Amino acid sequence: MKHAKVNLFLLLFQMAYTLTLLAWILVALTSFMLFDSPEALGDAATVAFFIYVWIYPLAMIGTVVFSWVLYHKRKFKAAVWVNLIPLLWIIPLVILIYAT
């Protein structure tokens, strides 16, 4: 093992990201209801939020792969920072849920 703390950090966060995919499925399937009114397609914020929701699994998988590539290249700090990118999706949604 190259760096035990970074390895554990990557594994724990990626397991948490995997659990968020369960919630993502529900959010993604209900996100189609954003377009229940005819003028919703013309609203940039609605379309942006829809894309924001649907791009999460791609970003998560990409950052997981890239963080492990960086880990194996012994770029541990970069691996940790790349691994935190999916939080850009999770934190705003948690704030939105608890702010209302």
pLDDT band at 100 (very low <50, low <70, confident <90, very high): low
| pLDDT top residue among 27 and 65 | 65
The number of distinct structural domains making up the chain is 1
State yes or no: pLDDT of 41 exceeds 70.
yes
Does the predicted model carry a pTM greater than 0.75?
A: yes
pLDDT band at 1 (very low <50, low <70, confident <90, very high): low
Full DSSP string of the chain: ---HHHHHHHHHHHHHHHHHHHHHHHHHHHGGGGG-SGGGGG-HHHHHHHHHHHTHHHHHHHHHHHHHHHHHTT-HHHHHHHHTTTHHHHHHHHHHHHH-
For residue 58, give its domain range.
4-99
State yes or no: pLDDT of 97 exceeds 80.
no
